[in-house]
Amino acid sequence: MTDGATVRRYVPRTTGLHRDFYLHTLAGGLHLQACEDCGERQHPPRYYCRACRSKALSFKAATGTGTIYSFTVSHFTHDPGWAAAAPFGTVVVETDEGPRIVASWLGANDDIRIGTRVRIVIEPVNEAFGMLQAEAL
């Protein structure tokens, strides 16, 4: 996904727990928040566990695999940096740990199917952000 190089894509200046998510994920593959009290995994990261409201949360490595839960193919985007890539696929992946993440689809748009097994691939963009991408297993 290096097209659109002439026009820069939006890159977030990551903050707070979301920055922590990307720092862990850049360093060691997809990470998800885990509750030290009840074991719940959650995403996006929060300050309290969604199952028991504990604050004892930390980022733990995930398998990085999952299943396509939903998707869209965008023929239009507000981001000029993505315009050249249109139509592009975006998938919602249900990770094997449970929480769902959004990822760019690496592959032909016609091949996107709900239920397809995928692997998450991280493309580093800067020291505190990497793009989440998904490819078929």
Partner 1 sequence: MTIELSGSSAIVGLGETDYLRGTDQGVLELVLDASMAAITDAGLHPEDIDGIIPPGGYVTSEEIAANLVIPDLRYSASVQMGGASPTAALQSATMAIATGVATNVLVTFGWNGYSAFRRQKGNEHQPRRRGQETPFIDISRHYYAPLGVRAAAQWYSFYLRRYVDLYDVQPEDAANVALACRRHAHLNDKAQMGGREMTLEDYLASPPIADPLRKFDCCLETDCANAVVLTSAERARDLPHQPVLWLGGAEGHPFPADDITNRLDILKLGIDTAAPRAFSMAGVSPRDMDVLEIYDCFTYVVMMQLEALGMCEPGGAKEFVADGNIELGGRYPLNTHGGLLSQGHCWGLNHIVEATRQLRHEAGPAQVPGAELAAVTGYGDLGDGSVAVLGRDR
Positions touching partner 1 (CB under 8 A) are 9-12, 14-16, 18, 21-22, 42-44, 69-79, 81-82, 85-88, 90, 92, 99-104, 114, 125, 129, 131-132
DSSP string computed for 28-52:
HS-EEEEETTT--EESS--SS-TTT
Residue 51 contacts Zn ion per CB under 5 A: yes
Residue 40 contacts Zn ion per CB under 5 A: yes
Closer residue to partner 1, CB minimum distance, 65 or 77? 77
Smallest gap from Cβ 137 to partner 1, in A, equals 20
Buried b (16+ CB within 10 A) or exposed e, 36-74: eeeebbbbebeeebeeeeeeebebbebebbbbbeebeee
The binding site for Zn ion (CB under 5 A) comprises 35, 37-38, 40, 49, 51-52, 54
